[in-house]
Structure 1
Amino acid sequence: MPQRNTALVRASFSAMAASFDLLTIVGVAVAIETTYYSIFYGWSGLSATNLQMCLFAAASFVVANAMRNEYSFANYLQLRGHGWRSFSLWSLVCLCAIAVGFLTKATEETSRAAFVLVYAVGFFAIYAQRATLAHFVRSSAAAGGVSARRLFLVGFEKDVEAFTYRYKPWTCGMHVVAAVVLRETENTLDDDLALAAASARMLRPDDVFILAPWSRTDVIDACVTAFLRVPARIHLGPERVLDRFVDAHIDKVGAISSLSLSGHPLNLMEVAGKRIFDVAVSLLALILLSPLLLVCALLIKLDSPGPALFLQRRYGFNRETFRIVKFRTMTTMDDGRHIKQATANDSRVTRVGRFMRRYNIDELPQLFNVLRGDMSLVGPRPHALAHDQLFERRIALYARRHNVKPGITGWAQVNGLRGEIDSPEKIRMRIEHDLYYIDNWSLIFDVWIIFLTIFSRKAYRNAI
């Protein structure tokens, strides 16, 4: 696809994505205002004042997103991040709309309940619309229909082949316009690079990828020098080690530049948002479920001797130990170096305990751990200390699970990966799901996992 046509497609897509956001917000606001007032007051609430506030919120949301390049084609190649970015900006826009309405006295004619509905339904409508559009973009890019970037590859033959085979850039919305192979014989590098640079100036790609081992600094320096004269972004091709880290990026502190492989999974705002969500939901859950908790405690006491609650040491955030709280479901209360995992038809599991394990009821007291800050509602499930130490020695990247707080439920659990770990494959799959959650966290993802924990059949598989 010629560069001019590609640029036109990208501009058209950005305009379309912005229009979808605008129409979604206005449509939701008009529908709710009209329906709400018609049901409760018998007349349409779509006054000129309310319509102006709807348009103000929609226009502010779209303009702010456009200013931060939210509507770029490449941004829709993945859904990750859209939920949190949309939620934070939508909340800010709604607060601004309230402030403007208060100053202009427009809020006197607006129902607070209707506004809350517009805020809540509007966010989910925006996210659903973006999820649909992102799915369409990914499908189109994978089929080669649309390209987000035009790539020019230069490097040694084996490195170019490995790059294209491993990453398949065309499935990510990237179109390889040319690939120039450098000869590994002496005194040919300058000639090869002169030809490659001339080709790049003619093809005018968006990005140039230098594909050579990082140890070949002479080749990399020569490539950078040759392509500095080409109006394109220059990238140093990825080494294999980067495949292990999703968020690897160049970091700069003062005059020091470094390649940051991993850091804090969440920034300060995300940590605050997740903590507020945890506290609010766990408090509400404890209030609503308090009768069930009391009944469960009584049944445990009547079924077998011993306390109703079971406390065991687990590793939490930063590998700091805490005592997890669960309903006692077994006749033993192991908390030492040698802890036997529960197995199918385990004789140690009580009658009440078996029922509680089957429906995850034994995990409910961990809501107190969430309130204390030891745990989160959603995160990697914590294992007993003895098992944790064993898995950490055997499995690469296992320790990354401790970069976030453990959870009552998690992405592995709602995919049926729970219960006894009796094979390397089971723990490997569980770790892969935990790391996927860490690398792709969003508040919407947490809500979705909680929903699946309650309503998905997979979440109740392999209970013992």
Structure 2
Amino acid sequence: MNRAKVFKSSSKSNSVLYRLFDISIITFSLTAAAAFYGVELNRVYLTVLLVVLLAFSYLGEAFDLYRSWRAGKFRHMVLFAWGSLICSFLALLVFAFAFKFSEQLSRVVLTLWFANAFAGIFAWRLMSRLYKVNRRKLGLSMQRVAVIGATESGANVFKEIIAHDELGYECIGFFEDRQPERLFEDMHLHVAGSINEAVNKARRGEIDVLFIALPFKAEKRIADILSRLGDTTVDVHFVPDFLLSSLIHARIDHVGDIDTLSVFESPFNGARELIKRTEDIIIGGLILLLISPILVAISIAIKATSKGPVFFKQARYGLHGEKIKVWKFRSMTVMENSDVVTQATKNDSRITPLGGFLRRTSLDELPQFINVILGDMSIVGPRPHAVSHNEEYRQKVEFYMLRHKVKPGITGWAQISGWRGETDTLEKMEKRIEFDLQYIKHWSLWFDLKIIFLTIFKGFTGKNAY
């Protein structure tokens, strides 16, 4: 007899519900605070509510707050929610002071509002978490999982299932037709039956999720399995046998009715592009305003200590490999901008005394905030290399040009990880590219803020900077 199927809500439906929960809690928190203190919710308070809701919604998307957290960390979800709320109220304060209506707001009401919302967005997440955990302890909301193919990719899936019990997965084993000696390592110890048995179990409703971990070259075999699973309600996932995850981004796209798998693609599409640009304009504008006295002082010092212009604009490759002009303070007696550029080395005679200090402290790169405002660069991203270096290393370093899927940055993950300055060996350049691609793959607003914060402490100076 077929087991009754339990239909589960999709993660997209849940994400919409979670957004409504947060919006309702923030709105209710203000209503409760105003009622407690006896304040009427007039047009001013409705305006600030709208500001907070818009800011929280924007930041929630930026921090990817509403993604599926089944395999994530509960504390991370809470911290991201709290971070979005704190930043939203900071935005409210800036907005209120900028438009000069802060005096019309009660500090007590604002404090109570924030405290209520802070507790509320945690409380409902905690209750939801406890509800799910208890259901899984009781054996409810569990999904029985099987893996077709005792391969390396199948073994990796199995390890992740074992490592993350919050997934709510119960793995019943691998299903294979090959002989034990042909299987990956000791995976024959977990083989529960043949592929035909897995298909029959799926038809009987004994499997909820099925992972196909066969190699791409077994195309006909995979097609046959999918055809046989077509009259079941099992969730089927295909696990590729090559390292798509080591490349930039892998996702399913569509050209008309044809499905395509994107491999080399920028992470900044749609809303992410807007988030990244907003980050650059707001943070870049504030930093440029704060450092303007330093820029003036350095300009005067350069003019007073050496002949030549204050600024040096060097051709570099930017987004999509297009050439841009990168602003820097002049730190050398020469201005190389040709097809052959000699990289600065220790005790380089071309570097002026002031230029040496500027380069060691990275102060020579401060004018690049102008590039950020103009849109040629970003605050965080792979450092732009001279055009001649690009042409040299793109032939030597695998996936080198993928770093141009994003805008070059003033600081980056490679720089704060110790891979800045002279790249006098191929290994050094390979490590820099490795960290650049890690940044592109794992980009988030939180990752950018982390890099900016760490740059303050260890990104400006370094033993390889000269």
The question of a shared fold, defined as TM-score above 0.5 by the shorter chain, is answered with: yes
Task: Give CA deviations for 1:108-146 in whole Å, capped at 9, x if unaligned.
Answer: 9961888998999999x79x979x99xx99xx9xxxxx9
Note the 1:193-342 alignment, pairs <5 A: 193-200=195-202, 204-342=206-344
1:460/1:76 CA distance change after superposition, 3 Å? same
1:387 aligns with 2:381: no
- What is the alpha-carbon distance in structure 2 between the residues aligned to residue 324 and residue 28 of structure 1? 48
Partner of 1:176 in structure 2?
A: 171
Match of 1:343 in 2: 345
- Letter in structure 2 aligned against 1:457: K
Aligned counterpart in structure 2 of residue 74 of structure 1, from 61, 70, 74: 70
Measured in 2, the distance between the counterparts of 1:22 and 1:372 equals: 35
Alignment check: 8 A CA contact 2:414 2:435 kept:
yes
Distance 1:223 1:365 in 2: 59
Q: Does 1:152 align with 2:139?
A: no
2:248–2:266 CA contact under 8 A, matched in 1 = no
What do residues 217-254 of structure 1 show as CA deviations (whole Å, max 9, x unaligned)? 32112211333344321122213152443532222232
Query: Structure 2 vs 1, CA of residues 274 and 119 (structure 1 numbering), >3 Å: closer, same or farther?
Result: farther
Kindly state the Cα deviation for residue 313 of structure 1 after the two structures are TM-superposed.
0.6
Stretches of structure 2 that go unaligned for 5 or more consecutive residues are 96-100, 134-138, 181-192
For 2:144 and 2:289, the matched residues in 1 are separated by 55
- 1:421 corresponds in structure 2 to 423
Q: Is the 8 A contact 2:360 2:460 kept in 1?
A: no
1:387 counterpart SS class: helix
CA separation of 1:195 and 1:210: change in aligned 2, threshold 3 A? same
Measured in 2, the distance between the counterparts of 1:350 and 1:204 equals 74
Match of 1:143 in 2: none
Which ranges of structure 1 fall in alignment gaps of 5 or more residues?
35-43, 99-106, 141-145, 186-190
State the number of aligned residues.
410
Name 2:186's counterpart in structure 1: none
* Residues 84, 443 of structure 1: 8 Å contact kept: no
CA distance in 1, matches of 2:451, 2:354: 26
Equivalent AA in structure 1 for residue 377 of structure 2: M
CA contact (8 A) 2:153 2:213 kept: no
Deviation at 1:359, TM superposition (A): 2.1
Displacement of 1:311 in angstroms is 1.6
3-state SS of the aligned residue for 2:395? Answer: helix
Work out the CA distance in 2 between the residues paired with 1:257 and 1:417: 39
Contact 2:383 2:411 (C-alpha < 8 Å) held by counterparts? yes
Deviation of 1:337 (Å): 2.1
Distance 1:118 1:259, change over 3 A: farther
Q: Per-residue deviation at 1:272?
A: 2.3
The aligned counterpart of 1:461 is 462
- The structure that is helix-richer by fraction is 1
Residue 103 of structure 1 is matched in structure 2 by none
What does residue 397 of structure 1 align with? Answer: 399
